[in-house]
Amino acid sequence: MAHPTQLGFQDAASPVMEELLHFHDHALMIVFLISALVLYIIVAMVSTKLTNKFILDSQEIEIVWTILPAVILVMIALPSLRILYLMDEINDPHLTIKAMGHQWYWSYEYTDYENLNFDAYMVPTQDLTPGQFRLLETDHRMVIPVESPIRILVSAEDVLHSWAVPSMGVKMDAVPGRLNQTALLASRPGVYYGQCSEICGANHSFMPIVIEAVPLPYFETWSANQLDFA
């Protein structure tokens, strides 16, 4: 859950988000080192009057400053590509959920069950209970079992939407007439919040996403109760 004055990412709640955080730190250290080197060179050039003819015209230095950026780019590109393939990997999902975007709410369908589907509307500010978050709470949460690979099918009924949950490392566009696919795996129990991340009209800010990750026995009890209620 994000908080005021937060500078970094939200805490990772899935293996993919953990990998993304590690890659972010890796790339940021490279940026810091490059920035420090460039700043040192600028200060040195401004503050000294000494010159060296071997530096002004040297093939060795030109070779170094040509090869070194290429090596740095490779150091960034290889882990980035690895994470891209990891995010696209869906191996034997235990559960499939279809998330459908509407103006301006989400509907969820658990396709492995015969009649388990519901709409998730934002809870109005005046109806919030103590401890609930304004603009982030929904009247129905998407409940998933912990440590189980979940396949999410994302689409939209009217305009472009985007199903995004930062702590899970998931962001997938919802396109009318197209069924996109992504995967998530909750590392631990908890409640994780997201929002539509594609400007979709007047109430774009008011279609939150709430995922509740629970142990498998609790999920089975919840799904049975939902089926009985339906």
pLDDT at 70: 94
pLDDT at 56: 65
Query: pLDDT, tens digit, for every residue of 149-170?
Result: 999 999 999 999 999 999 999 9
Is residue 137's pLDDT more than 70?
yes
Select the more confidently predicted residue: 56 or 187.
187
pLDDT at 220: 92
Q: Distance from CA of residue 6 to its chain's centroid?
A: 16
Q: Distance from CA of residue 215 to its chain's centroid?
A: 22
Q: Give me the amino acid identity at 73.
A: L
What's the mean pLDDT in 206-222?
Answer: 94
Distance linking the first and last C-alpha atoms of the chain: 32
SS (H, E, C) the chain: CCCCCCCCCCCCCCHHHHHHHHHHHHHHHHHHHHHHHHHHHHHHHHHCCCCCHHHHCCHHHHHHHHHHHHHHHHHHHHHHHHHHHHHHCCCCCCEEEEEEEECCEEEEEECCCCCCEEEECECCHHHCCCCCCCCCCECCCEEEECCCCEEEEEEECCCCEEEEEHHHCEEEEECECCCEEEEECCCCCEEEEEEECCCCCCCHHHCEEEEEEECHHHHHHHHHHHHHHC
59-88 and 15-47 helices, crossing angle to 10°? 160
pLDDT at 41: 87
Residue pair 149/91 in contact (Cβ under 8 Å)? The answer is yes
Query: pLDDT, tens digit, for every residue of 63-84?
Result: 888 999 999 999 999 999 999 9
CA pair distance 175, 172, nearest whole angstrom = 9
Beta bridge partners of 190: 213
Structure token pair of residue 206: 């008011």
CATH superfamily, domain 95-229, is Cupredoxins -  blue copper proteins (2.60.40.420)
* pLDDT above 90: percentage of residues in the chain: 70
Residue 179: C-alpha distances to residues 19, 171, 192 (Å): 26, 14, 23
Query: pLDDT, tens digit, for every residue of 11-54?
Result: 999 999 999 999 999 999 999 999 999 999 899 888 887 776 66
Mean pLDDT of the chain: 91
User: Residue for token digits 């996403």?
Assistant: 209
Prediction pTM value: 0.85
Residue 134: C-alpha distances to residues 43, 47, 138, 142 (Å): 49, 54, 10, 18
Given pLDDT bands bounded at 50, 70 and 90, which one contains residue 5? Answer: confident
pLDDT at 182: 93
Q: Which CATH number applies to 15-88? A: 1.10.287.90
Per-domain residue ranges for the chain? 15-88, 95-229
Say if strands 150-156 and 95-102 run parallel, antiparallel, or are unpaired. parallel
